[in-house]
Structure 1
């Protein structure tokens, strides 16, 4: 599999060299290669994303922060392709993860193969404002996760996202939007998916997963889809607001976080539980000022995984609540200061996990918007019973 991937990348590299000799290269941020068929029946844009990150983390010991851990890593390295086939109404997106973090998670359920594929989806605008998606891609869940990792306001997503997101899955989605008035826009989405996350090859292990979302934009569309871009990098000239509510029901889910987390394995197979996740979120932007808020709540019909004799396996559904609030201001010189508060309150009786409050301050320098930027943030994690933690991160990001 690794050899195949190397060959694919080599082919793209050779092709890009040949193509670059024959035509002008695209403007920075618009892809490495832009292709279009002579008969205009297809188009492809090839891009690449790279994030290099350094971090240090301290744990409180005897009323002082010590016991430091530090590391450098390629946080993300992704090859991205998108375009249309036959008609502009039939588009596609492919994203391959090449970093260790992107490929991690191999198991018997993925045929013990690295999880290279992030997105592989077709989108068909079959009638008016109706669009049918089929393949593997992000579900219509919490806003912070639907925002591309390229366009994040901080170095990385919040603790709410890492604990409550429903991320990607295989299936179909139906999307629609309409205008309630001249400016008031309503968007609806419904997804039917397998329920075990991305790159699963063993079929449907539990039941199906059902996701629905309703989103309203009372003051009209954001500039360049800025309702799914971190920070007000486009400096909205008039106030813009987006409000959304999402509900996800995973029937007979077999993982600790719906379609994410660890498999709940027992001596008779996989433990199954009906898991529900509710998310409410908002995005506001005006003249460099931005605010985003999210609330998540997860419940389960049977959170404990048990063996045939009734003994607990130690795996349980991570049920509870999460709140994330973040705001920032972008100065005219493209420096941004931002702040974030995140509260994670799992059901401690079931999960045994501590209450978590995280406070984050961030600074970003947008050289060419989100396409080329440097970001740093400092986070303080306050725990109820265990040791508090301090974390500093610095990241350089480029997106061709």
Structure 2
């Protein structure tokens, strides 16, 4: 790992030293520096961000547990090559949480790469994406972890999201009127998550999404940034529906979770996931709502003789409602209600309901902020959780 980091440092130093480039110093939060080719045929913006998290949890008749960690530490590179119509993005994760998950399917190597993506605007409003990035699933997941309203995403996201994968996406948008915008996305991916080097074990994963923005674009791409930091002068609304079909999936949460193993290899079944979501913002007030539903053709993994292995697809549904108000001094209060109902007859798991109250101070928007929240998880062994997090983005 030290060798890899040293190699990366040498690349950055060399990039800054060569005479064929011009180095610009952007504003805080807009990247560490921008590289521009002398002939302006390419650019590269380099940035970094960190999140430092403290967590304390306690339950009845149990000792309080506390944890301190670097939640995220990342390097980001983006720009265009040859033409502004050909863009790219690379994002590397360096914290333990970012790179965890080494297995035989990742060549037993840490999962450094989050995004490695090329975007080609090949015709009018059509854009082709190729590489590894987030799939067009639930809105909360696509919102960057650096642009969240509370310390972390909801239980709905952790139970149902389809995260990142390797494949191709076709994106298009058009206007129904002067303000009404429609976006369409189609994705075909490998179907087993990010950084998989050994596979494809099952089939492929197909995702379609449509978005409606009846009142026009949000300021600063606010439909994919939590909290109304831009204080929309007029009401803005975004509605989205995603449908995901993972053909012959081998993991218990579509392309996420754990592999379902049998006596002959891996169990395969078709898994579908539906997401319906909305984002509304107006004068400091924000509201985000999401619904998720997962199903499978046969959720019970079986051996060759028909006996159950014990692995099951995590089928069920979830609802998340989240709202907040940003005061003029850039303090925000927010609340969240999340309800998860996995099919108990299949998963054996009880319903989960979580209530979260958050308070945030935005010093330089999402680029420099302090966030805290307290959550109550209503299950058999009810649990309280307090979190405090500091974010800084260059």
CA distance in 2, matches of 1:211, 1:318: 19
SS of match in other structure, 1:67: coil
CA distance in 2, matches of 1:23, 1:154: 35
After superposition, the C-alpha distances for 1:131-161 in whole angstroms (9 at most, x for unaligned) are 0000000010000000001100000000000
Q: Is residue 380 from structure 1 mapped to residue 376 from structure 2 by the alignment?
A: yes
In 1, are the aligned partners of 2:202 and 2:248 still within 8 Å (CA)?
yes
CA distance in 2, matches of 1:17, 1:361: 48
Match of 1:395 among 374, 389, 394: 389
Map 1:30-41 → 2, pairs under 5 A: 30-41=30-41
SS of match in other structure, 1:395: strand
Match of 1:355 among 351, 358, 376: 351
What does residue 49 of structure 1 align with? 49
CA distance in 2, matches of 1:316, 1:107: 21
After superposition, the C-alpha distances for 1:176-232 in whole angstroms (9 at most, x for unaligned) are 000000100000000001000000011311001000000000000000110000100
Q: Which deviates further from its counterpart, 307-316 or 96-105?
A: 307-316
What does residue 5 of structure 2 align with? 5
Q: Is residue 71 from structure 1 mapped to residue 84 from structure 2 by the alignment?
A: no
Q: Is residue 141 from structure 1 mapped to residue 120 from structure 2 by the alignment?
A: no
SS of match in other structure, 1:149: coil
Structure 2 CA distance for partners of 1:17 and 1:74, relative to 1, 3 Å: farther
Q: Which deviates further from its counterpart, 303-312 or 240-249?
A: 303-312
What does residue 58 of structure 1 align with? 58
Following TM superposition, by how much is the alpha carbon of 1:312 offset from its aligned partner in structure 2, in angstroms?
2.0
Q: Is residue 154 from structure 1 mapped to residue 118 from structure 2 by the alignment?
A: no
What does residue 270 of structure 1 align with? 266
Following TM superposition, by how much is the alpha carbon of 1:14 offset from its aligned partner in structure 2, in angstroms?
6.9
CA distance in 2, matches of 1:14, 1:282: 45
Match of 2:333 among 333, 337, 349: 337
Structure 2 CA distance for partners of 1:300 and 1:133, relative to 1, 3 Å: same
Following TM superposition, by how much is the alpha carbon of 1:266 offset from its aligned partner in structure 2, in angstroms?
1.1
Q: Is residue 172 from structure 1 mapped to residue 174 from structure 2 by the alignment?
A: no
Map 1:1-400 → 2, pairs under 5 A: 2-12=2-12, 25-61=25-61, 66-383=62-379, 386-400=380-394
User: TM-score, with normalisation over the residues of structure 1?
Assistant: 0.96
CA distance in 2, matches of 1:246, 1:360: 26
Following TM superposition, by how much is the alpha carbon of 1:126 offset from its aligned partner in structure 2, in angstroms?
0.4
CA distance in 2, matches of 1:150, 1:128: 31
SS of match in other structure, 2:341: strand
CA distance in 2, matches of 1:283, 1:182: 20
In 1, are the aligned partners of 2:271 and 2:296 still within 8 Å (CA)?
yes
In 1, are the aligned partners of 2:24 and 2:33 still within 8 Å (CA)?
no
CA distance in 2, matches of 1:153, 1:311: 46
Q: Which deviates further from its counterpart, 240-249 or 9-18?
A: 9-18
Following TM superposition, by how much is the alpha carbon of 1:26 offset from its aligned partner in structure 2, in angstroms?
1.7
CA distance in 2, matches of 1:14, 1:89: 27
CA distance in 2, matches of 1:295, 1:352: 21
CA distance in 2, matches of 1:17, 1:74: 31
After TM superposition, the runs of 4+ consecutive aligned structure 1 residues lying more than 3 A away are: 13-19
Following TM superposition, by how much is the alpha carbon of 1:25 offset from its aligned partner in structure 2, in angstroms?
2.4
Following TM superposition, by how much is the alpha carbon of 1:13 offset from its aligned partner in structure 2, in angstroms?
5.5
SS of match in other structure, 1:109: helix
CA distance in 2, matches of 1:5, 1:273: 40
Q: Which runs of 5+ in 1 are unaligned?
A: none
In 2, are the aligned partners of 1:16 and 1:33 still within 8 Å (CA)?
no
Following TM superposition, by how much is the alpha carbon of 1:12 offset from its aligned partner in structure 2, in angstroms?
2.3
SS of match in other structure, 1:36: strand
CA distance in 1, matches of 2:393, 2:17: 19
CA distance in 1, matches of 2:15, 2:78: 17
The alignment's C-alpha RMSD in Å is 1.6
Following TM superposition, by how much is the alpha carbon of 1:314 offset from its aligned partner in structure 2, in angstroms?
1.8
Q: Which deviates further from its counterpart, 277-286 or 28-37?
A: 28-37
